[in-house]
Amino acid sequence: MKVGIVMGSKSDYPVVEKTEKMLAKFGVEYETRVISAHRTPDQAHAFAAGAEANGIEVIIAAAGKAAHLAGVLAAFTTLPVIGIPVKSSTLDGLDSLLSVVQMPKGIPVATVAINGAENAGILAVQMLSLAHPELRDKLKDYKKEMADAVMADDAEMQSQK
C-alpha cells in the first residue's frame, strides 16, 4: 500500500511533513514529490496518469494560493485524491481552500482543513483500510489513544480543583 504525496512547491513541505509522519505511524509507504500544476503541468499529468501503475492507491496534493494541483491530478486519474489547502500569506489560506474544494462535477477531490495535513494522512489510511483490513485495527487503536489522552487531561484538570 502506497500513497503519492505531491506538493506544488518545496515551501509546502513543513505542512506535508505532518502527512508523512501520520502515514509512517500507520506503516503506510509514501512517495513525496514537488510538482506544480501551473509550472510543470506535463509532469503533473504524467504523475497522475502513471500513479496506479506505480503502486499508488491514494494521492494527496498540497498547494497554496491558486491551489489547482489536487484538481489537475484528479483530472488524470480515477484514484482518490485528497487536497490539502496550504495557508498562504495573501488570504490566510481561504484562497487555497476554495481552489481545492470547488471542483466541477465528475472530478471530485476530498478536501481537509487549511494545513490539515494530519487529517489528510488519516483519511488516506481510512481509504486504504477498505482494501487493507489490517489498517482498521491500527485506526481503532489510534482513536483509543486520542480518547485516552483526552480522558487523562480531564482527570488532571479535575484533580487540580
pLDDT tens-place string over residues 59-99: 999 999 888 999 999 999 999 999 999 998 778 999 999 99
Q: What average pLDDT does the chain have? A: 96
Calpha distance 74→77 (Å, rounded): 5
Query: Within the chain, which residues score under 70 in pLDDT?
Result: none
pTM for the model: 0.95
In sequence order, the 6+-apart residues with CB closer than 8 A to the CB of 62 are 5, 6, 7, 8, 12, 15, 16, 19, 69, 83, 84, 86, 117, 120
